[in-house]
Amino acid sequence: MTHEELNSFLDANPQIEWAKDDDGNFYFRHSHYDSKHEKVKVEPRALANISAQQLEKTLVGGRNVDQITRVTGYFSRVSGWNKGKLGELNQRERVGVI
């Protein structure tokens, strides 16, 4: 992947955050699926041999699934919720049902 292809890929996917260290290594994180501490490191020589599709597959990792939840009798897709509602979802206490 060239730098132009990488820039196009990142422009088309604003949910992917990235950083570069002094050694030229790239660190990618998918903000929808990963916590702040989960990152994928890609060395410069590996970046030259990877396609945009391979990078996206690595970052998504089969997690491109929409979560549905039931609130007060109605089903709702979590992907359409705002930050506040997602925060409430993360704070909910979960219990196991046997």
Return the residue matching tokens 């996917």. Answer: 13
Structure tokens at 35: 């916590």
**What are the DSSP E strand ranges found in the chain?**
16-20, 26-30, 40-42, 68-71, 74-77
Question: Looking at the whole model, is its pTM more than 0.75?
Answer: no
Q: How far apart are CA 42 and CA 50, in angstroms?
A: 10
Structure tokens at 6: 């990488």
pLDDT value, residue 37: 66
pLDDT (tens digit per residue) in 11-70: 888 888 888 888 888 888 887 766 666 788 888 888 889 888 888 888 777 665 677 787
